[in-house]
Amino acid sequence: MEERIISRDIGDGIAVHVIPAEKFKTIEIGIFIHNELNNDYTKNALLGRMMRRGTEKLPTTRQLEVFLENLYGARFGAQIMKKGERHIIKVSLSMVSQKYTDKGDDLLIKGLELLKDVIFKPAKQKGLDLFPEEYLDQEKANLKKQIKSLINNKVEYAVERCFQEMCKNERFGKYVYGNIDHVDQITNDHLFNYYQAMINTSPMDIFIVGDINPDKIINMVKQIFDIKRSKIKSIPKEVVKRTVGGEKYYFEKLDVTQGKLSLGYRTNTDYRSPAYVPLVVFNSILGGGTHSKLFIHVREKNSLAYYIFSRLEKFKGLMIISSGIETDNYQKALDIIKQQVSE
């Protein structure tokens, strides 16, 4: 049976999207909380971590794990994502389909209620609108480690630095996991106040995939997420088309044996534009695999790169070319890459 998406707005800025898929024995639920990628981006990244730490009913890791085990080993997660100029907190649950248990709808209801509590009733200090101080300190330390660890992956580090320099004065230039200098400046009360404003005003999308009845599951979600929220904020559309000056070059010295060469291009192509599909084909031909022009001409024919690829940043209209080279071959590699792009 052809899979299709059934979407419905259930009010208060919450939309439900159901993909019935009989072939799966699990049900996948993802809740996406949309925020603008602005100066609060480090708070968003920290909240993505705090939401993993439990709920008012399940305030400890052990209690949460026992609850998940009673859902036949369900898998729960929370993470932060950057899509264009949106900063999105994703809360997810993967659980066995109720069709393979004797619990009926009760299993799915418990799973949805868990996600609701994770978002709207997180673990707090007793009698206070504050996160548990121990959890906050731990997640601040973990977030700083995550930000610092970017440089350990030199491929992604070079790509990220390229994007940051390209989009220095744009929202997209902000790193998905935040700014390390901002982490210790975030106090418990400021974070909790920001969290309360976010859950009351941020648009949310709930995606559910599995062997389920769409109307039934949408009604179930509507009953469980019957939450009265205040004014739902509008997230500004990402800026895709941008006029820039000539080429800009940035060099960074690191103690490495293999140089990283990254080139960023503005395609000025919105992913909703008819021109986007031809752009995807172009990217595949240019650097999408071992068949591509960059791989054949830079790596195979001239032995100038250990690896080379191109990829699109779909929601921002950017294209990145990333390669690992000997620094002595920088100019020759750069010239051939430019030639392949222009031909």
Which tens digit of pLDDT belongs to each residue from 291-322? 999 999 999 999 999 999 999 999 999 999 99
Q: Is the pLDDT of residue 178 over 50?
A: yes
Q: CB of 264 within 8 A of CB of 320?
A: yes
Q: How far apart are the first and last CA of the chain?
A: 43
Q: What is the CA angle 240-14-130, rounded to 5?
A: 95
CATH number of 6-224: 3.30.830.10
Q: Mean pLDDT across the chain, nearest whole number?
A: 95
Neighbouring residues of 289: CB distance < 8 A, sequence distance ≥ 6: 295, 309
Whole-Å CA distances, 92 to 33, 151, 174, 223: 11, 28, 24, 19
pTM for the structure as a whole: 0.93
Q: Is the pLDDT of residue 105 over 90?
A: no
Q: What is the pLDDT of residue 249?
A: 95
Q: Is the pLDDT of residue 324 over 80?
A: yes
Residue spans per domain, the chain = 6-224, 259-342
pLDDT band at 57 (very low <50, low <70, confident <90, very high): very high
pLDDT band at 3 (very low <50, low <70, confident <90, very high): low
Q: What's the topology of domain 259-342?
A: Cytochrome Bc1 Complex; Chain A, domain 1 (3.30.830)
Q: What is the pLDDT of residue 70?
A: 95
Q: Is the pLDDT of residue 1 over 50?
A: no
Q: Do domains 6-224 and 259-342 have the same CATH topology?
A: yes
